[in-house]
């Protein structure tokens, strides 16, 4: 997909957000609507957006996450109308703290984008596991999960001892710290913090 999209008529943009969510869609919409572009109601993908203006069409395609990397290009033959739309989107992204990539910078960045996405997946898993530990406790005898404040195991009905409670409190403390660490890491990845230096693109 990346090879097909690295063409001179495409514009590559990096936004300081995790993914193509509602705020980013709204940003693009606000940038294009004054120029007469109308969002295509048949484009419901979480990976791309499409607009139409008269007989011309424009697509924004996601290439990476954490931070959001998209490429903007015409559907069909490129024209001055498409170039104006790309310029409007670029201006909106730069005003919001994003970056514009050349084709060369895009190719240089794509491997890093994959590594950042893998790191985000790992942090999301850490976050999910830690959040569960803040909601329930696990019996050391039968392995059943019970409510965090339960006095008896929901499985074997064994009464939790003071040692069990101390272990739960330690687990909660560690899980709380893990949640904070994972949330911080995900926020930094989404903002583009510590991007490796590319030609003309400085660290975030």
**pLDDT single digits (tens) 93-141:** 999 999 999 999 999 999 999 999 999 999 999 999 999 999 999 999 9
| CA angle (32 as vertex; 27, 33 as ends), nearest 5 | 100
**What sign for the dihedral angle of Cα 36, 16, 100, 72?**
negative
Per-residue confidence (pLDDT) for residue 42, from 0 to 100: 78
What token pair was written down for 32?
């294009």
* Residues facing 12 on adjacent strands: 71, 101
Give the CA distances from residue 95 to residues 91, 99, 166, in Å, rounded to whole numbers and listed in that order: 6, 9, 51
Q: How far apart are CA 76 and CA 49, in angstroms?
A: 15
* C-beta separation of 158 from 34 below 8 A: no
Q: Record the pTM.
A: 0.84
Tokens of 30: 């606000």
Greater pLDDT, 46 or 26: 26
Cis peptide before 67 (omega within 30 of 0): yes
pLDDT confidence of 6, banded at 50, 70, 90?
A: very low
Average pLDDT, the chain: 91
Sign of CA dihedral 79, 81, 83, 89: negative
CA 94 – CA 112 distance, rounded (Å) = 21
Q: Strand 136-138 relative to strand 38-39: parallel, antiparallel, unpaired?
A: unpaired
According to the model, what pLDDT value does residue 45 have?
80
């Amino acid at each position: 997909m990346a090879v097909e999209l690295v063409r001179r008529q495409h514009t590559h943009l990096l936004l300081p957000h995790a993914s193509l969510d509602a705020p980013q869609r709204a940003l693009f919409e606000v940038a294009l609507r004054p120029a007469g572009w109308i969002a295509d109601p048949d484009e419901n993908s979480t990976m791309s957006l499409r607009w139409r203006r008269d007989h011309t069409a424009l697509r924004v395609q996601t290439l990476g996450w954490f931070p959001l990397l998209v490429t903007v290009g015409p559907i069909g033959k490129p024209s001055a109308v498409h170039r104006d739309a790309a310029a409007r989107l670029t201006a909106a992204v730069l005003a919001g703290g994003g970056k514009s990539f050349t084709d060369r910078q895009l190719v240089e960045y794509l491997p890093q984008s994959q590594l950042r996405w893998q790191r985000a997946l790992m942090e999301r898993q850490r976050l999910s596991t830690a959040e569960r530990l803040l909601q329930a406790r696990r019996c050391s005898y039968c392995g059943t999960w019970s409510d965090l404040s339960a006095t008896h195991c929901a499985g074997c009905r064994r009464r939790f001892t003071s040692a069990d409670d101390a272990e739960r409190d330690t687990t909660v403390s560690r899980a709380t710290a893990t949640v904070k660490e994972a949330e911080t890491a995900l926020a930094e990845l989404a903002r583009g913090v510590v991007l490796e230096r590319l030609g003309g693109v400085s660290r975030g």
